[in-house]
Structure 1
Amino acid sequence: MKKSEIRKLYLEKRKKMSQDEVFVLSEKIFENFINYFKPVPNQKVHIFIPIEKFNEINTQIFINYFLSRNIKVFVPKIVDTKLISVEIFTDTQFETNNWGISEPISNEDSEDSDFDFVITPLLYCDFKGNRVGYGKGFYDHFFENISKNSKKIGVNYFNPDHMIDDIWENDIPLDYLVTPTEVLSFSDKSE
């Protein structure tokens, strides 16, 4: 399937989800992430803040867990068409941007690039780790500039069931996908 068809299909599937489904499935994704990756204090996690109107995974569960265990948390913010990483803390102040996304008020880019985990939003991921997002390309550019040791992890309600036909040269695949039922690894990196 083409990305545009997949984007439309999965936006529609998400739209039909109830808030209870979003919460329950987000909890299962969170549990699978914690059990598989076992994050520890002082690790660095870059994680998105969900767009609620698109029924994205409730990452606040992750963020609360990380902050309560001294795991460093960074969130994306778009400044002048560039995605920067802002470190957040329990007392960080947020505001809602033009797209309805909650962002830290601070525009201070941490300039960190050696994250242990980069938890990535997506609409769909295929069997090879290729992802379909909202089509803006922010994460592909972001992935180019992070450490090759950073684990790029997609989180999604849905498991792969078909391939993406129109992969572009600049698309950077994920290393893992966490769903409510499993964790898939796409990494053939030789350690």
Structure 2
Amino acid sequence: MITKELLREEVASRRKSENRQSVESKSIEITSRVINLLPFIKAKSVMCYMDFKNEVITRYIIHHCFEHGKRVVLPLVDKTDGLKRIVPYEIMDEKRDVAPGMLGILEPRKDRAKSFNREEIDVVIVPGVAFDLCKNRLGYGAGLYDRFLSSVNNNCTKIGIAFEFQIYDAVPLEEHDIPLDFLVTEERII
């Protein structure tokens, strides 16, 4: 099996080579599939992430949530005690309530957004580098989402979104890795 490092390099190279028009059209298709999943339709609160460097564009999902009265929650990477961890914050305005954070990725502004109880999150849209057919994910290596997903309520639906080229037969796993409930690409739902 390919190593985590090589897999991350391979996918990063592929993502970098995607043109903006392709990323946008695929992201719209992925959004269409996500918003029609029953757990998403029923959700009152959705935690999403702000895309970065040719990831699936998440603003389409975020806009849909606002338009349909869902509470929108974004992750803030907190490192006050030396350990990086995700803290969920609810935003009311996608433009005014966020600012560049770690690595330039948009995050909630503490002065505008409000802390959100992770137990109340109905759906989490999960980023990743690569995924497999068993709905396992390979993240960016910091363990942020694995730690976070292990702390949400058991009824929270975990949805990974990715481009089809990010799907592999298997990805390297560790004991602490949390599988997803759904994996959505521009071509299918797994």
1:85 is paired with a residue whose SS is strand
What is the match of residue 17 of structure 1? Answer: 18
Question: Quick one: structure 1 residues 42 and 161, their matched pair in 2 at CA, closer, same or farther if it must change by over 3 Å?
Answer: closer
Deviation of 1:42 (Å): 6.4
Instruction: Kindly state the Cα deviation for residue 151 of structure 1 after the two structures are TM-superposed.
Output: 0.8
| 3-state secondary structure, aligned to 1:99 | helix
Match in the other structure for 1:71: 70
Letter of the 1:48 partner, please give it. Y
Instruction: Give the SS at the match of 2:37.
Output: helix
Hey, what does 2:89 align to over in structure 1? 86
Partners in 2 of 1:111 and 1:16 — Cα distance? 38
2:141 matched to 1:135?
yes
d(CA) in 2 for partners of 1:173 and 1:143?
Answer: 9
Once the two structures are TM-superposed, the CA of residue 130 in structure 1 deviates from its matched residue by 1.2
Equivalent in the alignment of 2:169: 162
Name the residue aligned to 2:127: 121
SS in 2 for 1:55: coil
Q: 1:138 to 1:38 in 2, by over 3 A?
A: closer
- 1:41 CA drift (Å): 7.2
Give the letter for the 1:141 counterpart: R
Residues 82-107 of structure 1, C-alpha deviations (whole Å, 9 max, x = no match): 21000011274221124010112117
Counterpart of 2:108 in structure 1 is 104
Q: Is this contact kept in 1: 2:4–2:138, CA < 8 A?
A: yes
RMSD, matched Cα: 1.8
Which residue is 1:189 aligned to? Answer: none
Deviation readout 1:43-64 (Å, 9 max, x if unpaired)? 110101111xx20111001101
Per-residue CA deviation, residues 13-58 of structure 1 (Å, 9 max, x unaligned), is 100001111100000000011223374476110101111xx20111
- Greater mean deviation of Cα atoms: 111-120 or 78-87: 111-120
Matched position secondary structure for 1:113: helix
Shift of 1:112: 2.7
Unpaired segments of 5 or more residues in structure 1? 185-191
Higher-helix-fraction structure: 2
Q: Where do 5+ consecutive residues of structure 2 fail to align?
A: none
Aligned pair count reads 181
Structure 1 contact 40–71 (Cα < 8 Å) conserved: no
Contact 1:124 1:133 in 2 (8 A): yes
Compared CA separation, residues 39 and 130, structure 1 to 2 (3 A): closer
Q: Does the 8 Å contact 1:25/1:157 carry over to 2?
A: yes
Q: Give the TM-score of the pair, scaled to structure 2.
A: 0.88
Per-residue deviation, residues 64-87 of structure 1 (Å, max 9, x unmatched): 110111111100010112210000
User: Percent identity among equivalent residues?
Assistant: 27
Does the 8 Å contact 1:84/1:111 carry over to 2? no
Please state how far the C-alpha of 1:127 moved relative to its aligned partner.
1.2
The aligned amino acid for 1:71 is K
Inter-CA distance 28–124: structure 2 relative to 1 (3 Å threshold): same
Query: Cα distance, 1:109 vs. partner?
Result: 2.6
